[in-house]
Structure 1
Amino acid sequence: MGTAPPVLVLGAGPAGLATAAELLARAVPVTVLERGDRPGAAWTGRYDALRFNTSRRRSALPGAPFPRAYGQFPTRDQYVAYLQRYAADHGVPVETGVEVARVRPDDDGGWRVSTSAGDRPARHVVVATGALNRPKLPSWAVGSTFRGEVLHSSAYRSPAPFAGRTVVVAGAGTSGMEIAHQLVAGGAARVLLAVRTPPNILLRELHGVPGDLPVPLLLRLPDPLVDRLLFALQRRTVGDLSAYGLPRPTEGAMAAIRARGVTPAVVDQVVLDEIRAGAIECVPAVVGLDGADVVLAGGRREPADAVIAATGYRTGLEELVGGLGVLDEHGMPRDGAGRELAPGLRFVGYVHRPGLTGYVGKIARRVAREIAAGS
């Protein structure tokens, strides 16, 4: 291995930075490779008005609380600044502008990482490039005859370009609902929210209290019990939106997380008010695009100027580690909580749960402890 660091961490988001910081605290040399131009670069590409769904107390990395001035729910720009400060305070060595193409076993028993800056050997590789790495577009969004604009939510920044236009937002998760609200506030002529699967909806804040306050307790309870409790909470705080085109969910929040990795839509009260007022029109799922129209399930057609597909992401790990037997049928690591899936190869942050940005810090501490013990 020569002078190569024992550990390469791929990705300078919260999972990668926390893992590197915990390794350095145990005197294990580490280098972080980041394709962007700074730590936390992936977050700079999120939409301008993004706020956390979880409170700052649940979202901070170990030993690095958010400033109180950030308020209960940090913004995109605050979080980017937080990650950059975290990297600087912990002396994390981050090489920016390095694109990782492939991870493969090396002849000496370690790993060789192919990058835009050449091959890099390491005894341990920690992959922390994030589950939301590659935009996922449905088939109807590709190669259609639609005369309007089609974009993935990852390309959306602000409502300004859509003022005075009719916009269909496909996908009723957190991002889809928040974007729909921003479009209304930004002066879009008409906003339609296309719903395929009715989401579980939770409020970001209840009477001034963060909605994630009971999460640590809920995660200790059996999933069926949590689903029943959250159904009851939704009945009291969200109510029945069926008359407005948004049926009640038939699948519990925890069941959806476990089965499909789909978390509840976390929104502010104003979003529900806009749905009830008709400012956000809930319609059936998009099934096609044709000329000037968006085709909805059941054959209904709606003319639109633009479609924003809030249809999720894939990990992009198939290109990176495909063929190593470490991924499941969905392209997720068989263990995303830092346990070795091959000698010296780990994945951190590929779990579906509330407060992930804070939880990855706990995973990072355990991973660093295990690597240090074997070094």
Structure 2
Amino acid sequence: MADSTASTTAAQAPAPQPADRAAERAADRPVYVIGGGPGGLSVAQALRARGVRAVVLERSDRVGASWRGHYDRLRLHTTRRTSALPGLPMPRRFGRWVARDNVVRYLEKYAEHHALEIVTGVEVSRVEPAPDGTGWLLRATGGRELTGAAVVVATGYNHTPHLPDWPGRADHPGPLLHAAEYRNADPYTGQDVLVVGVGNTGAEIAVDLVEGSAARVRLAVRTPPHIVRRTTAGWPAQYSGILVRRLPAPLVDRLARPLARLGVPDLSAHGLPRPTTGLLSRAREGAIPVQDIGLINAVRKGKVEIVAAVEGFADGEVLLTDGTRLTPDAVIAATGYTRGLDALLGHLDVLDPRGRPSTRGPRTPAGVPGLYFTGYTNPISGNLREISLDAAKIAKSIAKNRTLGASRTMTP
């Protein structure tokens, strides 16, 4: 009787419809993660932990390519404990402020430890909906066409170096390079160097040049930054960022002003006045506070000279907005990066006017299901910390949607 009943039930089951078969095919596809940096690796691990196959596509020949290209003295501005990715602590021997090379070693170990599926040497040039209406089609190098159930874009916050189109820039005869090309101070011993931009990168390169025996170091500043001590009585600035990240910006801005006056000296006499805009308000616009790793003392001692912003180049000179003309031996532009997502995703209407994803974490853009982004913000609570939190949320959302998709194709 049992066999007869089973046969009857099977006979009565409706044949799978074309939409159901398409959904089944989509559920069998992997999730493609574009980018083998911290964001991509953490999402791949979170998906693997949920039993979802994730394939990381990395355009270089190794994971952590962006970190490998940073300047030599770079250390994380966030603590070792809060910077670890899900499922693997950073070794204690790395110290509290992890050096660039140790970050790279950690990312390599992370991929190995979690047995992540990574394909290197593959650059994705375009992402578009799959022709069958389910999942995504990725066009990549070598004419590859890959179809995935979902896509997580994690190509990095610092993707494409941005060099302003200053008037006369192309004709400037002296060395002019982006900070992405700077490694250490050795080539600049005894030279007069102008660093343009006073974010964390510009400030740290200026200090590195001073310590590396450059003859003269000037720092061109357009908007005075908020400067914070990396630690105060052992308390990291990042911890304060974590505590206030969800508070109203006007409240944090008011609280930060007296704390700044207590912790950071007034550098107005040296050309670096206190900013007039609020700390958290500026941070949410993308201007992260500068963590002091020697800039304050260098400015006070006159080893780093603050000058006006760069306006252009002419006759071998650098023109500043206050009318000053400089003739440095080299110019290093710490002028930031763009996300570089326009060619990849611009046709999908998922980017804001500044080229950044309109959503992050588990949320997908309206009308574009199955497309996720991670690592495109730079919060004061720490980029790596937020990446780790987003990874778990993205994996949960993808796993849930795959389960729902599979349940729709089940026979009643």
Fold conserved between structures, TM > 0.5: yes
Shift of 1:85: 0.7
Question: SS at the partner of 2:146?
Answer: strand
Larger-gyration structure (1/2): 2
Spell out, residue by residue over 1:162-215, the C-alpha distance to the aligned partner (whole angstroms, 9 max, x if none). Answer: 111111100011000000000011111110000001101111122343222222
Q: Does 1:266 align with 2:291?
A: yes
Alignment match, 1:221: 247
TM-score, with structure 2 as normaliser: 0.87
CA distance in 2, matches of 1:152, 1:142: 16
- Structure 2 regions of 5+ residues with no counterpart? 1-24, 403-412
Report the more deviating stretch, 73-82 or 144-153: 144-153
TM-score, with structure 1 as normaliser: 0.96
Alignment match, 2:217: 191
- Structure 1 regions of 5+ residues with no counterpart? none
- Name the Cα RMSD after superposition: 1.6
Alignment match, 1:86: 110
Structure-to-structure mapping, 1:328-343, within 5 angstroms? 328-341=352-365, 342-343=368-369
Question: SS at the partner of 2:61?
Answer: coil
Q: Does 1:373 align with 2:400?
A: yes
Question: SS at the partner of 2:348?
Answer: coil
Give the 3 Å change call, closer, same or farther, for CA 318–91 of structure 1 in structure 2: same
Question: SS at the partner of 1:79?
Answer: helix
Alignment-mate amino acid for residue 114 of structure 1: R
Q: Does 1:161 align with 2:187?
A: yes
Question: SS at the partner of 2:347?
Answer: coil
- Tell whether the 8 Å contact from 1:202 to 1:211 is kept in structure 2 after alignment: yes
Q: Does 1:233 align with 2:233?
A: no
Shift of 1:132: 1.2
CA distance in 1, matches of 2:388, 2:31: 17
Alignment-mate amino acid for residue 207 of structure 1: A
Report the more deviating stretch, 225-234 or 171-180: 225-234
Alignment match, 1:252: 278
CA distance in 2, matches of 1:177, 1:206: 19
Alignment match, 1:358: 385
Alignment match, 1:137: 163
Shift of 1:374: 1.6
Alignment match, 1:75: 99
CA distance in 2, matches of 1:82, 1:349: 18
Query: Equivalent of 1:116, from 134, 141, 145?
Result: 141
Question: SS at the partner of 1:263?
Answer: coil
CA distance in 2, matches of 1:338, 1:267: 34
CA distance in 1, matches of 2:131, 2:26: 14
Alignment match, 1:10: 34
Shift of 1:316: 0.4
CA distance in 2, matches of 1:121, 1:112: 5
Give the 3 Å change call, closer, same or farther, for CA 22–278 of structure 1 in structure 2: same
Runs of 4+ in 1 over 3 A off after TM superposition: 1-5, 141-144
CA distance in 2, matches of 1:353, 1:79: 19
CA distance in 2, matches of 1:373, 1:323: 27
Shift of 1:356: 1.0
Shift of 1:336: 2.4
